[in-house]
């Protein structure tokens, strides 16, 4: 029995998300690596050197995201996925075999370079393949597989942390396993379809039409929806050629396009300032401030990543129904509350406090800051940070726009990697006020500036961003009316074409 087109699109998106899994695995593995006793005994890193282990990876990802845009535009979406997987694999091998910090730093940078390619291209590829009605679910796979990678890494790292205590396998084994999804992705990506939008933009119209038909109508090239979508893409490509974004500077010349660039970069920057990167990279240090041992921290992180997976599955089930705007705002406010509780607990209870009070505080900290925060983040803002940039740009600006947004993410991630160790050392619990404030200001920003983009075809995003920058008060009803207008316009165009054909006869 043939699978339905939407299931096929979902499965392609799931496979492409192996590129996201390698990023998630790294997020989950690095905290355990730098906390491993055999690693510390072998390399004796200080705070600055530990910060470099984290920040060189994200610095490499920043460069990779910049290089991914021209690669995607000139060589295609699949080629970009392939390059990212191969580059990551090289970096992963160097890290696993590292005999000194300089080797490890080099491997981290190269692996980050590959991740920059992958994280930029995966949601873009997914968005260009998916039907508007399931685009949110398909692009949310980026965050889901990121979470899956972090989940696997946490438990693998925990296993080697407690089970391999006498040799470097304690940290080398987890680093080696990160190469597996990259190998699978590089080996099989050419078996999957290229983006029909990219094919049509390169004048491969016949192949573009066939690919659209395979994706949306089980290969029927005469399907009405496929033909209408094909015509819309052709029209958009023709317009794009007149307004081609030949360089990144072109993204800032149009108010409409600049608004999208500004919004997407703000989305990615705001995500890093929620506190999620601090928890991912420095969990043992953070939990140590309330008296939780490194081994227990890694175990609790594994459980936390399971809650994250539940959040990501929740997001895939509701994001195309509830929309983007209020999901993002509500998520930020809920995350603010979890960090507020964490700050109070860190201020009130110290590792040397009495055992009874400390135990209660530890469990409250774990449940609220670790498990609840991760669930909320994964169900809301974490997933939306990939969905929104991948869907708001038009064909001519999509690769470069998503690239800029991804670069912003890694720039802020790099900053967090450098600042957090010193901030925790010097400011203690007061450092976490930063994340309380940032989550609140993020919610305010999105209330004023984030329009609803759910279920709107990619070719119709220009109309969404031609309106006012300020969008407070946008309701689900208004967003639904906008979608009805888009659908009515498509039906009108179809009927007009039929009428013209009849009169032509």
The enclosing H or E element of 77 equals: helix 77-96
Average pLDDT of the residues in 14-18: 94
CA distance 48 to 481: 53
Per-residue pLDDT band for 196 (boundaries 50, 70, 90) equals: very high
Sequence-distant (≥ 6) Cβ neighbours of residue 444 within 8 angstroms = none
d(CA 34, CA 28): 12
Model confidence, pTM: 0.80
Q: Can you count the helices (H) and strands (E) in the chain? A: 24, 0
Structure tokens at 132: 């508007």
Tally of domains in the chain: 1
Pairwise CA distance, residues 142 & 119, whole Å: 8
260-273 confidence digits (pLDDT tens): 999 999 999 999 99
Q: Compute the average pLDDT of residues 169-177.
A: 92
- Per-residue pLDDT, 479: 52
Q: Would 340 be classed as within a structural domain?
A: yes
Q: For the ranges 44-53, 129-138, 260-269, 377-386, which has the lowest average pLDDT?
A: 44-53
Between CA 288 and CA 277 the distance in angstroms is 17
Range 59-80 average pLDDT: 93
Q: Within a domain: residue 223?
A: no
CATH number at residue 70: 1.20.1250.20
Does residue 231 sit within a domain?
A: no
Match 């050629």 to its residue by tokens: 241
CA separation for the pair 291, 298 (Å, rounded): 14
8 Å CB contact between 465 and 260: yes
State yes or no: pLDDT of 353 exceeds 80. Answer: no
pLDDT band at 354; cut points 50, 70, 90:
low
Asked if residue 501 belongs to a domain, the reply is no
Angle at 100 between CA 94 and CA 106, to 5 degrees: 45
Residues in the chain: 505
> For residue 207, is it within any domain?
no
Tokens representing 295 are: 């081994």
- Residue from 92, 100, 125 nearest 44 by CA: 100
How many alpha carbons fall within 13 Å on the CB side of residue 367?
A: 6
- Which of 32, 25, 27 is closest to 298 using CA atoms? 32
- Convert the pLDDT of each residue in 432-484 to its tens digit: 899 999 999 999 999 999 999 888 888 788 888 888 888 876 555 455 555 55
Of 99-113, 151-165, 396-410, 488-502, the least confident: 488-502
| CA end-to-end span of the chain | 41
Tokens found for residue 139: 């692009």
Residue 501: is its pLDDT beyond 50?
A: no
Confidence of residue 496 (pLDDT cuts 50, 70, 90): very low
CA distance 134 to 142: 14
Token reading at 303: 């459980």
- Identify the domain containing residue 347 by its residue range: 5-192+243-495
Q: 238 in a domain, yes or no?
A: no
If you average pLDDT over residues 294-300, what whole number do you get?
Answer: 78
Angle, alpha carbons 268-92-400 (nearest 5°): 35
Q: Distance from CA of residue 417 to its chain's centroid?
A: 18
Spatial distance between the Cα atoms of 9 and 3, rounded to a whole number of angstroms: 10
Q: And the tokens for 396?
A: 């001519």
174 occurs within a structural domain:
yes
Is a pLDDT exceeding 90 seen at residue 291?
Answer: no
Please list the alpha-helical segments (H only) found in 135-223. 135-139, 141-163, 169-177, 179-188, 196-201, 205-216
Domain assignment of residue 227, yes or no: no
Per-residue pLDDT at 492 exceeds 60: no
State the Cα–Cα distance between residues 443 and 436, nearest whole angstrom: 11
| pLDDT exceeds 80 at position 299 | yes
């Amino acid at each position: 029995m043939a699978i339905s087109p939407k299931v096929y699109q979902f499965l392609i998106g799931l496979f492409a998300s192996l590129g996201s899994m390698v990023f998630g695995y790294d997020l989950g593995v690095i905290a355990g690596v730098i906390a491993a006793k055999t690693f510390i005994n072998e390399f004796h890193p200080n705070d600055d050197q530990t910060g470099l282990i984290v920040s060189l990876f994200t610095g490499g990802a920043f460069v990779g995201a910049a290089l991914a845009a021209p690669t995607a535009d000139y060589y295609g979406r699949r080629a970009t996925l392939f390059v990212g997987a191969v580059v990551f694999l090289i970096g992963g091998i160097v890290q696993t075999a590292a005999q000194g910090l300089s080797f490890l730093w080099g491997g981290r940078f190269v692996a980050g370079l590959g991740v920059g390619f992958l994280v930029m291209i995966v949601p873009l590829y997914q968005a260009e393949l998916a039907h508007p009605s399931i685009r949110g679910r398909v692009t949310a796979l980026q965050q889901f597989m990121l979470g899956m990678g972090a989940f696997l890494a946490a438990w693998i790292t925990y296993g080697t942390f407690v089970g391999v205590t006498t040799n470097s396998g304690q940290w080398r084994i987890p680093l080696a396993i990160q190469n597996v999804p990259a190998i699978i992705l590089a080996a099989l990506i050419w078996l999957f379809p290229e983006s029909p939008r990219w094919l049509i933009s390169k004048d491969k119209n016949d192949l573009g039409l066939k690919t659209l038909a395979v994706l949306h109508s089980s290969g029927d090239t005469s399907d009405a929806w496929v033909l209408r979508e094909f015509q819309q893409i052709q029209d958009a490509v023709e317009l794009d050629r007149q307004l081609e974004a030949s360089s990144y500077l072109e993204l800032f010349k149009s108010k409409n396009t600049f608004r999208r660039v500004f919004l997407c970069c703000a989305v990615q920057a705001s995500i890093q300032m929620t506190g999620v990167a601090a928890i991912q990279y420095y969990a043992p240090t953070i939990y140590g401030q309330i008296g939780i041992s490194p081994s227990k921290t890694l175990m609790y992180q594994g459980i936390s990543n399971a809650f994250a997976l539940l959040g990501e599955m929740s997001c895939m089930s509701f994001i195309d129904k509830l929309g983007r705007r209020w999901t993002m705002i509500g998520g930020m406010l809920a995350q603010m509350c979890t960090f507020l509780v964490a700050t109070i607990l860190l201020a009130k209870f110290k590792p040397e406090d009495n055992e009874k009070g400390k135990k209660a505080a530890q469990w409250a900290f774990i449940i609220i800051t670790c498990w609840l925060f991760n669930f909320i983040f994964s169900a809301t803002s974490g997933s939306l940070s990939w969905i929104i940039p991948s869907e708001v740009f038009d064909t001519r600006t999509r690769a470069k726009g998503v690239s800029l947004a991804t670069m912003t993410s890694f720039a802020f991630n790099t900053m967090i990697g450098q600042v957090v160790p010193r901030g925790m050392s010097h400011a203690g619990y007061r450092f976490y006020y930063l994340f309380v404030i940032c989550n609140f200001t993020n919610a305010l920003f999105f209330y004023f500036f984030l329009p609803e983009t759910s279920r709107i075809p990619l070719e119709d995003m220009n109309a969404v961003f031609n309106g006012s920058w300020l969008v407070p008060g946008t309701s689900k009803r208004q967003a639904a009316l906008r979608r009805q207008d888009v659908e009515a316009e498509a039906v009108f165009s179809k009927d007009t074409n039929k009428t013209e054909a009849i009169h032509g006869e």
